[in-house]
A = this chain, B = another copy of it.
Amino acid sequence: MSAETLGSAAQAAHTSGPEALSEHYGRVRARTEMLCEPLATEDYCIQTAPEVSPPKWHLAHTTWFFETFVLLPYLPGYRVYQAGYDHLFNSYYETVGRPFPRPQRGLLARPTVAEIYAYRAHVDAVMGELLAGDSEPEAQLAARLVLGLHHEQQHQELLLTDIKHIFAFNPLRPVYREHTLPAGTATEARWRERVAGVYELGHDGAGFAFDNEGPRHRTYVQDHVLQDRLVTNGEFLEFMEAGGYRRSELWLSDGWRTAQAQGWRAPLYWEQHEDGWWHMTLGGLQPVDAHAPVCHVSHYEADAFARWRGARLPTEAEWELAAAEQAIEGNFMDSGHLAPLSAPPEGAGLRQLFGDVWEWTQSAYGPYPGYRPLAGALGEYNGKFMSDQMVLRGGSCATPADHVRATYRNFFYPGERWQLVGLRLAADR
């Protein structure tokens, strides 16, 4: 999801210079492969739901992205590495070819994992040549390259969420990586207030951003409060014990229908044992920690929980105004925990705005006033998804730290739960 504003990325290229770009490229690409180290060959091939992609597909698709949007247009004479890959690894770009059907990505025995790594190596080598010269790369090339790296970071997060789904489906309960999480403690949530007024929202043009984060524009925000930390598993358990999943009056109509049809009784990956609730994590099956943020709930569940508490979800404007005042720090992929953690001690501002879990908002995903997608195929990156989905904010424990911003807009369908998604409460004042 996403296409940069050309100006801001060119800016990025200018400040870092060609060598830095080449290093940036190498660092991001290497991390993708590092994330796959714990995998067996078989783990790369599986697709356990239509919205999940096999890990090897992620490896190939991100490479196809550089080949299609950087090498082919900017390296004269470049020939595609392998006929057929343009079809197999095109995700959804209707204007540059015919995307392979998403629900069938797990039916592809070939290319093998080794062949895909060879594809990566080939494209990396050619990219190295392209970036090796003394002169600065052309602004548009640099912009596309930075876009490709942020695109790859998005797929790094998807790799982790998809591996989690693949492992959780398996009755043998594989472990991605043994881990010991720091023990959390209970902390009271505080309400933080903001007074009504006209505020500015959206990306201001400095540094990289996806096209959907701009243009920066005015909006009117009402008096409201936000909780200073995420909703916890313990709080969500109270909702469950109060019959939350059985009380239709707490739910949006589509949510209730979905919950009944899917048989939801708890967040995804939760299972009730004799000694309480457990859930699958990247570290295997673990007891649910009451102090950690609730995760893997749909927008519908988040909304029902909030209604039960007499509160609501934040708007994306409310969230962004709070986030704009804080440093981008939190429990990201870089912490290595790969699981949401209980909130740090109370401070001046809001806690857990960044990292841990993406936060559902009550805002439907749509264009900002004056929004223009990029010209050409990259215009398909974000704009065409501006219906039927909801905005999420803040990144998760599977997001690279240098990938998010206060203005970053993620989006999922309201019934989706396989991403690392949770919530924070808001209320009118």
A111 in contact with B172 (CB, 8 Å)? yes
**Cβ-closest chain B residue relative to A224:** B369
A94 in contact with B248 (CB, 8 Å)? yes
Contact string against B for A residues 86-111, beta-carbon threshold 8 Å, 1 for contact and 0 otherwise: 01100010110000100000111111
B249 in contact with A107 (CB, 8 Å)? no
- In the bound complex, CA of A108 to CA of B167 (Å): 9
For residue A301, give the distance in angstroms from its CB to the closest CB of chain B.
Answer: 12
- In the bound complex, CA of A42 to CA of B40 (Å): 10
The answer, among B113, B222, B363, B366, for a CB contact under 8 Å with A370, is B222
Asked whether any CB of chain B lies closer than 8 Å to the CB of A68, the reply is no
Asked whether any CB of chain B lies closer than 8 Å to the CB of A299, the reply is yes
Counted per complex, copies of this chain come to 4
B380 in contact with A249 (CB, 8 Å)? yes
Give the contact-size bracket for chain A.
Answer: 35 or more
A40 in contact with B387 (CB, 8 Å)? no
Q: A94-B249, A222-B370, A364-B364 are in contact. Are A110 and B172 (CB under 8 A)?
A: yes
**Cβ-closest chain B residue relative to A100:** B171
Chain B residues, Cβ within 8 Å of A256: 94, 384
The answer, among B88, B95, B111, B252, for a CB contact under 8 Å with A248, is B95
Asked whether any CB of chain B lies closer than 8 Å to the CB of A386, the reply is yes
B385 in contact with A253 (CB, 8 Å)? yes
Chain A interface helix/strand/loop/mixed: mixed
Asked whether any CB of chain B lies closer than 8 Å to the CB of A112, the reply is yes
Asked whether any CB of chain B lies closer than 8 Å to the CB of A33, the reply is no
A428 in contact with B167 (CB, 8 Å)? no
For residue A242, give the distance in angstroms from its CB to the closest CB of chain B.
Answer: 16
For residue A281, give the distance in angstroms from its CB to the closest CB of chain B.
Answer: 17
- In the bound complex, CA of A198 to CA of B94 (Å): 40
A107 in contact with B48 (CB, 8 Å)? yes
Chain B residues, Cβ within 8 Å of A112: 40-42
List which A303-356 residues lie within 8 A (CB) of chain B.
303, 312
- In the bound complex, CA of A46 to CA of B312 (Å): 41
- In the bound complex, CA of A46 to CA of B426 (Å): 46
Asked whether any CB of chain B lies closer than 8 Å to the CB of A196, the reply is yes
List which A161-197 residues lie within 8 A (CB) of chain B.
166-167, 169-172, 174, 196
Stretch touching chain B among A22-30, A213-221, A266-274: A213-221
Asked whether any CB of chain B lies closer than 8 Å to the CB of A140, the reply is no
Chain B residues, Cβ within 8 Å of A48: 107
Contact string against B for A residues 146-168, beta-carbon threshold 8 Å, 1 for contact and 0 otherwise: 00000000000000000000110
Contact string against B for A residues 111-125, beta-carbon threshold 8 Å, 1 for contact and 0 otherwise: 111000000000000
- 30 interchain pairs (CB within 8 A)? A40-B110, A40-B112, A41-B41, A41-B42, A41-B112, A41-B113, A42-B44, A42-B45, A42-B109, A45-B45, A46-B107, A46-B109, A94-B256, A95-B249, A100-B171, A107-B169, A110-B170, A111-B172, A198-B198, A198-B220, A218-B220, A219-B220, A222-B370, A249-B379, A253-B385, A253-B387, A255-B387, A303-B387, A370-B428, A388-B414
